Amino acid sequence: MIPFNKPTATGKEIRYIKQAVRSGKISGNGIFTQKCQSFFQEKYGFNKCLLTTSCTDALEMAAILLEIKPGDEVIVPSYTFVSTALAFVRQGAKIIFADSCKDHPGVDEDRIEELISPKTKAIVVVHYAGVACDMAKIMNIANRHNVFVVEDAALAIDSYYKEKPLGSLGHLGCFSFHETKNIQCGEGGMLVVNDRSFEKRAEIIWEKGTNRSEFYRGEVNKYGWVDTGSSFLPSEISAAFLWAQIEKLDAIQQKRKDIWKRYYEGLSDWAKEINIQLPFIPEYASNNAHMFYLVCNNIDQRTDLMNKLKSDGILAVFHYLSLHNSPYYKEKYSGKELVQADRYSDCLLRLPLYYDLSGHDLKPIINSCCGFK
């Protein structure tokens, strides 16, 4: 069976984990944490980066920083992973779900403004498949209505809106280093603080509500409990693993892009023939090759295609189910029908894409798809 995903291993992960252990500090915010954070700040020009144990934690930190409280409304795309909404629900927010675009699963930017009310506190955008939303439109709406923007860039490392890296355009950005992502450490994430007014408090929330980081830097002579927070920072073991991945980021990205390109070229004629939609990249967006997906005509066609691939020894998967129709939120949702989000829930299928996927494996995947009529 060709798996859907296989976590990338560069060969240096164990070496760096041993270094972290020998350093005598493995609890977090040590040498490897600082190396990772500095890398992202320097390479992408992010203002301040804080590694977290997951993207979910980064989103929860964002919700705390924005002081989301009961009665606030937060606009979130329905077609996304549960963490995008859950982080704000935990603070008491009412989620206002937005629909996706017809030509790609990202949020429909032209439908956001009609969802804004006097209670709106934030807009959370998801760069689906690592492909940028139209951030100029979104930031324009946010600025006119004086609301915050959080970029859920879980899938979007090393991807751009025009010339600007994703995660750098909103007030806050959130990344994932889960084992299914382009670079990974099993479970991990990162909060990017672009709005400098949040910078000091973000570090306190990250450090369990204490000003311990200031103490370690010699900025205060003692530290204590000064705010809310939690244990959001990862161990040095995770950071060391991530550093090995970061060192090979360019090679990983190039290999993934080569695989993505072979899929697109190999499946284009077949997709047109049976009216299956291939990934769409807007002209303002780059492609970080996080995933390659197909959008079938209906749920039955997707099921049949998925079963054919499985019978040929290939594991393809679908994922997000519209959050507004979820068992947890369905009774709370009172908005309009979200046609496109539901369509992607029923019709989108993801093909295997990982660094170690060889041409030997890629060819039978393409052939299996093209044999489906």
What are the tens digits of pLDDT across the range 135-148? Answer: 999 999 999 999 99
The CATH 3.40.640.10 portion of the chain extends over: 13-247
Give the pLDDT score at 213: 83
Amino acid (1-letter code) at residue 60: E
Burial of 68 (0-12, 13-18, 19+ CB in 10 A): buried
Task: Output the six-digit token pair for 14.
Answer: 């164990």
For residue 37, count other CB atoms closer than 10 A to its CB: 19
Fold of 13-247: Aspartate Aminotransferase; domain 2 (3.40.640)
Alpha helices, DSSP H, located in 274-333: 299-311
Give the pLDDT score at 137: 98
Give the pLDDT score at 161: 98
Low-confidence ranges of the chain (pLDDT < 70): none
Give the pLDDT score at 212: 86
Burial of 116 (0-12, 13-18, 19+ CB in 10 A): middle
138: helix, strand or coil: helix
160 DSSP β-pair partners: 165
Spatial distance between the Cα atoms of 335 and 114, rounded to a whole number of angstroms: 12
Tokens 């992973």 identify what position?
81
Fold of 249-370: Aspartate Aminotransferase, domain 1 (3.90.1150)
Pair 227, 201: CB distance under 8 Å: yes
Pair 161, 146: CB distance under 8 Å: no
Angle subtended by helix axes 236-247 and 31-44, to nearest 10 = 40
122 DSSP β-pair partners: 74, 148
Single pTM value for the model: 0.96
Give the pLDDT score at 214: 82
The CATH 3.90.1150.10 portion of the chain extends over: 249-370
